[in-house]
Amino acid sequence: MWSQRAVVDYGLAKRATVRSLRTGRTSFDDVCDAHPYLLRAARFHGEATDRLCPVCERQNVTNVTYVYGDELGRLVGRVKSTSDLAEMAHEYREFRVYVVEVCQGCAWNHLAVSFVLGNGDPPTDS
């Protein structure tokens, strides 16, 4: 995306969590604990991926994208599609995006990436 910046990839944390689960240092219940609202958001608003769940390896994970920012008003904390983000990046100066991967089969969930979007222009006086 054209205005993407301040990207934080949580891939290392994900690998560490999966490794901890497989070596028995972490229990299944500790990592497969998605909140019912997150599972519902994944089911109705998430975007399917071709990545298998790293825990159950039976279903593909779904990405759920949340947006937060001072300028967003009623949109704060809402689930948005990737196509919505491009439009929002032109409309708002700055907002943070969080992408959570969710397995609807075993309830695995993990923050995958976060980044900032927006046009960066100073606010206009209306």
DSSP secondary structure, 16-75, as one string: HHHHHHHTTSS-HHHHS---HHHHHHHHHH-EEEEEEPTTT-SSEEEEEEEEE-GGGGGG
Per-residue pLDDT, 3: 82
**Of the candidates 18, 24, 16, the residue with the CA atom closest to the CA atom of residue 106:** 18
pLDDT computed for residue 37 by the predictor = 97
Nearest to 113 by CA among 63, 51, 68: 63
Sequential pLDDT tens for the chain (126 residues): 678 999 999 999 999 999 999 999 999 999 999 999 999 999 999 999 999 999 999 999 999 999 999 999 999 999 999 999 999 999 999 999 999 999 999 999 999 999 999 998 655 655
100 within domain boundaries: yes
Does residue 55 fall inside a structural domain? yes
Q: What is the DSSP letter of 97?
A: E
DSSP state of 48: E
Q: Is residue 47 part of a domain?
A: yes
Length of the chain: 126
In a domain, 126, yes or no: no
In a domain, 95, yes or no: yes
- Structure confidence at residue 126 (pLDDT): 53
In a domain, 48, yes or no: yes
- Output the pLDDT for position 122: 58
What pLDDT is recorded for position 120?
84
Domain that residue 60 falls in = 5-117
CB 104 within 8 A of CB 42: yes
* Dihedral over Cα of 102, 49, 18, 77: its sign: negative
Q: Tokens 């500790």 — which residue? A: 30
State how many domains the chain has. Answer: 1
